[in-house]
Every structure is written in C-alpha cells, then in structure tokens.
Amino acid sequence: MEVTYVKAINQALFEEMRRDDNVFVMGEDVAELGGAFKVTDGLLEAFGPDRVIDTPIAESLIVGAGVGAALLGMRPVLEMQFADFISCAFDQIVNMAATLRYRHGGQAACPLVVRAPSGAGVHGALFHSQNPEAWFTRVPGLKVVAPATAYDAKGLLKSAIRDDDPVVYFEHKRLYRSVKEDVPDGDFLTPIGVAEVKHEGRDLSVITYGGALHYSLDAARIAEKEDGLSVEVVDLRTLLPLDRETIVASARKTGKILVVHEDRLTGGIGGEVSAVIAEQAFEYLDGPIMRLAMADTHNPFSPPLEEFVLPDATKILQAIRQLAAY
C-alpha cells in the first residue's frame, strides 16, 4: 500500500502499541492535537489518555519521566516537538538514559525512543530547522537512526521501540508528505546498524542519509543521463552504530567518495565516515574524500538564504562532476 513518510510513522506507532501494552506515547500536544505534524493522530482515541499523554513544554521532564518508566518495564516513545529543543533534554538522554545499562552492570535496561522531527527546507528558521544528530553519535549506550524513506521510517521505528537500549530517532520534517512509496502490510523491521545501497554504481559513491538521500538520488540519475557516470548511492539509515562494512565496501568498489548530509559540515557525521574510509580503504582511493553539507552557520529564515546554505541536487551534481574529473 502506498503511504507517506508521516503515515508510515503513524502506522508503526499504532502497530507497536497494539502489539505491546507497555508501549506508550508522551510529549507536547501528542494526544488532543495528534501532534504538531499529526504523527500521533488517532492514537488517543484508540488507546486512551493513559497511553497517549500530553505533557508540559518541558523536554527534560518528558525524557526524565521516560527514563523512569523504562526502568519499570515500560517502552515509552517520547516526542520532541522539534528536534532543535532536544538540547533541553540533553542531560537526561546523554547522562541518564545512555549510561544506565553501564551504571547497573548490564542488569538494567532503558528501552525508550526519542522521536525528533528535524531538518530544514521548510523555512522554520533558527529553532525549527536544525539537524542535531551529530551531538549524539559519539555517546556510548545510544543508538541513532535517521530514516529517509517511508519504508524505513516505519521499519526503523518498530525496531527502535523493540530495542532494549535508548534510540534517538530523527525524522525529517520535509519528508513527511513529500515522500510516498509502497509499504507492505504486515509486520516488518528495518535492522538498526545496517546501511543500504539505494543505487548501484561503479564510478564513484555518494554516502548520505535522511533528507539528503533524495537529492543525492536525483543527482546520481542526472549524472548518469548527462555525463555517463555510474554513481552508487548509499543510505546510512543508522548513524550509531555506523555500518562500517558497507561504507568501506562501497569505497573499495568505486574508489571515489562524496559524503553528503544536511547537518553542518564541521563536526558532522561526514567527518567520521571520511575517517573510516581513510583508515580502511585508503589504498583503493582514486581521489580525495569529499564532503558536502550545510554551511557552518545558523539556519536562516529567508528562503533564498536557506537554499544558499543547504545542499541540494544541483550542488551534489556539481560535486559529483568535480570528483569524477579528478
């Protein structure tokens, strides 16, 4: 059945809440309003106020309460209304949830999911556009995922809910209703920690995730049609743990690598991907590892300025051509 990215997330929540009575949803406006983006629409009517809980505007409270519930055997799905405000819950996620299993010598678990609507391209300006995923990709005990397709949005959320460790789930706002595809009926999971080659190629590789995947696929198709280039596109899907095997295999296969993400360039996951390739596939490279990302600046409100600082298909195509010519 063809569904949108946002509907796929909604379906995953319905299915997991039906499957397991310990799963519940908590966040700002998730119940009466059905979520700011209607991700939780219909859940209150189906499961009632004990399992779909509106909270005050206090992200630290949301995650802190979720940690306590997870310790007692529940499986909370906690919504940050915008990923930008996840910083208010940083201590609870990084110092409490992520360390819990280690602090208890493996005798306790913290099975919670933090849903974080992220990403620019929607003219949300400073506090409604950020991609803060790199803040969490260096924290032992966390898992970090960033689906780019409706299929993976559903499959990764279901996997995250069933995981016994805390998972930060970045869902891209721009994809909510712009991405639609056939998603099979019935239960299925997308494995955490496994990347996927979305487009096979032999001349160079684009390694990406989240909102930048679709731009990368568009650029790859144009490069093939106009330049005769065979471009491989790898969707990381999971940022922690990274699928190093798939990354290195693609680098060894094509010899030229472009890493693309919407997060800022400095300190983004592209630096870690580049380091992995440099360490494990250096002798296979036929050119420099290139990165294309958002400029190191704040998210502007002005649409032309926002477009200027963000990667898009045109900029990715230009980088592909530059790397191919090296």
**Longest CA span, the chain:** 60
**Active-site annotation holder among 104, 123, 128, 214:** 128
Report how far residue 10's alpha carbon sits from residue 21's, in angstroms, rounded to the nearest whole number: 17
75, 22 contact by CB (below 8 A):
yes
DSSP codes joined into one string, 39-62? TTTTHHHHH-TTTEEE--S-HHHH
Looking only at the bridges linking them, the beta strands covering 2-4 and 23-27 are: unpaired
Q: What does the DSSP assignment read for 238-256? A: EEES--HHHHHHHHHHHS-
Does 128 participate in catalysis according to the annotation? yes
3-state helix, strand, coil in the chain (%, to 5): 40, 20, 40
Tally Cβ neighbours within 10 Å of residue 36: 17
Residue with tokens 């940690």: 67
Please list, residue by residue across 227-242, b when 16 or more beta carbons sit within 10 angstroms of its beta carbon and e when fewer do: eebbbbbbbbbbbbeb
Catalytic residues: 128
